[in-house]
Amino acid sequence: MNSKECMELADKTLMHTYNRYPIVWERGQGVYLYDIEGKEYLDFASGIAVFALGYDNKEYNEALKKQIDHIIHISNLYYSMPMAYAADKVTKASGMDKVFFTNSGTEAIEGAIKLAKRYYYDKTGSAEGEIIAMHHSFHGRSTGALAVTGTKKYRQPFGPLMPGISFAEFNHFESVKALITDKTCAIILEPVQGEGGIYPAEQKFLEQIRKLCNEKDIALIFDEIQCGMGRTGTMFACQDYHILPDIMTVAKALGCGVPVGAFLAKGKFADVLVPGDHGTTYGGNPLATAAVCVVFDLFEKEHILENVNQVSDYLWKTLEVVMEHHSDKIIAHRGKGLMQGLEFKEPVNEIIRKAQKEGLILISAGANVIRFVPPLIIQKKHVDTMAEKLEQCLIF
Ligand SMILES: *Cc1c(COP(=O)(O)O)cnc(C)c1O
């Protein structure tokens, strides 16, 4: 079957929820992807900030093969070694006390919301806890996560969604404060907004929110699904700000390709959920948590954070130059670590399609922002190649 036949077969029966690009992938190697016709592409998207370790990492592959030969699934009615190790690793790395494994980011958000509501219910006896979220946030597509996602067009057709949600301006403390009521049980935000256009939180903003949550006994939820797992140069973005949330969500690079997410909680929030409150059939199964274990091991062994810190400065400088060359088209450069964005005056979809022809994979974050989220093993020479190819696409 060639690309065209594959796409025709898929489009016949796959729901049309994505306008897919006309590429059929076959395999990956390091920071390169290959389509079924054998064309090579430099990958600056990592399957949307997932494949941090790069493709075809032998140790990662071996660990998963070994686990498959032992056991893939057992359910949460029992224990397994990978689950125990993974829980230990992710809590230690994040500074949180307890974890619940999910199968995706959106499910991690659902769990975080339930935890915050349950805490409020235990405290007040009222099941009317309300949540403050941010404009331009993205927290997922299930109905709870959608209710706290700050892009109206994603929410609009699917109401009525979970009530009691209000939206504040990101990096504008007074707008958050103005929304606080006696019923506010949680504030949820991404320390670096991803899909909304790559906006890092300001230090002061997070400090003020942390203080407010302490004073009012409100759960502070950090969604680190995209910005966590080394992406910004610390294991979790909040560590760069020296501010810990009460509840944290993680997914994307947590399993580096095996679908797994988690929500974590600290201090008085750690033991709020009790038997019967929450569950999942697959969540934290041996295959998923074996992936989590080997990912944490390889982050250390391959000095991933050091690499992010080295290469991210280089990426920053390189993109500054690209912006200078094309100041007629590019209006802003934002980000942290290996999570950066260039904002254009016009929608970027054409540039992304051109880049694909040049053998470069880019993704957008909102209509006008190109998002740079390469595998975390990227090197300076790859940044140079990316910039050359990108400049080719900008001459028009
Ligand atoms: C991707 C993403 C989600 C949703 O994760 P899924 O695994 O797609 O459900 C939630 N929050 C943020 C910040 C994300 O980037």
Query: Are the C-beta atoms of 243 and 207 separated by less than 8 Å?
Result: yes
- Average pLDDT (309-313) is 98
pLDDT digits (tens, 9 = 90+) for 101-153: 999 999 999 999 999 999 999 999 999 999 999 999 999 999 999 999 999 99
Q: What angle do CA 230, 19, 191 make, to 5 degrees?
A: 25
pLDDT band at 299 (very low <50, low <70, confident <90, very high): very high
As for ligand 1, residues whose beta carbon falls within 6 Å of it are: 104-106, 109, 138-140, 190, 194-195, 223, 225-226, 251-252
pLDDT band at 258 (very low <50, low <70, confident <90, very high): very high
Instruction: Residue 166: name the closest of 143, 145, 150 by CA.
Output: 150
Compute the distance from residue 104 Cα to the ligand 1 centre, in Å: 8
Pocket mutation for ligand 1, best pick of 48, 50, 107, 139 (most atoms within 8 Å of C-beta): 139
This prediction has a pTM of: 0.98
pLDDT of residue 136: 97
The answer to whether the beta carbons of residues 238 and 249 sit under 8 Å apart is: no
pLDDT tens digits for range 34-64: 999 999 999 999 999 999 999 999 999 999 9
What gap in Å lies between CA 82 and CA 286, rounded to an integer? 6
Task: Categorize the per-residue pLDDT at 376 as very low, low, confident or very high, splitting at 50, 70 and 90.
Answer: very high
Please check whether residue 128 is in contact with residue 288, taking contact to mean a CB–CB distance below 8 angstroms: no
Q: How far is the CA of 139 from the centre of ligand 1 (A)?
A: 5
| Residue located nearest, by CA, to atom 11 of ligand 1 | 139
Residue 396 has pLDDT above 80, yes or no: no
CB 245 within 8 A of CB 220: yes
Q: Which residues are CB-neighbours of 360 under 8 A, at least 6 positions away?
A: 41, 42, 44, 385, 386, 389, 390, 393
- How many helices (DSSP H) and strands (DSSP E) are in the chain? 14, 17
Q: How many whole angstroms from 288 Cα to the centroid of ligand 1?
A: 17
Average pLDDT value over all residues in the chain = 97
Atom of ligand 1 nearest to the CA of 142: 9
Ligand 1 mean position, distance from CA 70 (Å): 30
- Cross-strand bridge partners of residue 330: 344
Instruction: Tell me the C-alpha distance between 247 and 171, whole Å.
Output: 20
d(CA 270, CA 264): 8
| Separation between Cα atoms, residue 251 and residue 227, nearest integer Å | 10
CA of 175 to the centre of ligand 1 (A): 25
Measured in Å, residue 57 CA sits from the centre of ligand 1 at 24
* pLDDT category of residue 257 using cuts at 50, 70 and 90: very high
Cα-to-centroid distance, 225 and ligand 1 (Å)? 6
Pocket test for ligand 1, best of 238, 252, 256 (most atoms within 8 A of CB): 252
pLDDT at 312 over 90: yes
Atom of ligand 1 nearest to the CA of 251: 7
For residue 385, report the phi and psi dihedrals to the nearest 5 degrees. -60, -45
Tokens standing for 75? 């359910």
pLDDT score at 168: 98
> Which pLDDT score, from 0 to 100, does residue 105 have?
98
